[in-house]
Amino acid sequence: MNEPFLPPIEKPKGLIMNLVYAMSRWQFGKVLTPVKVYAARMPNAFGTFFGKVSALDKKLLLSRETVFLIREQVARINVCLFCTDIGRAFAIKESMNEAKFDALDEYKTSSLFSDAERAALDYATELTRDKQMSQGTFDRLASYYSEREICEIAWLVASEHLYNMANIGLNIHSDMLCDISRKSRTATAEQAVAAK
* 8 has a pLDDT exceeding 90: yes
In whole angstroms, give the CA distance from residue 192 to residue 196: 7
* 7 has a pLDDT exceeding 90: yes
In whole angstroms, give the CA distance from residue 90 to residue 103: 17
Helix (H, G, I), strand (E, B) or coil at 63: coil
* 187 has a pLDDT exceeding 80: no
CATH class held by domain 61-177:
mainly alpha
**What percentage of the chain has pLDDT greater than the value 70?**
98
> Is residue 13 left, alpha or beta, with left meaning phi > 0 and alpha meaning psi from -120 to 50?
beta
- pTM for this entry: 0.92
What residues does each domain of the chain span?
7-59, 61-177
Q: Which of 73, 66, 79, 80 has its CA nearest to residue 33?
A: 80
pLDDT at 190: 73
Tens-digit pLDDT profile for residues 48-59: 888 899 899 999
Which residues, 6 or more positions from 2, have their beta carbon under 8 angstroms from its beta carbon?
171, 173
Tens-digit pLDDT profile for residues 96-142: 999 999 999 999 999 999 999 999 999 999 999 999 999 999 999 99
User: What one-letter code names the amino acid at 78?
Assistant: N
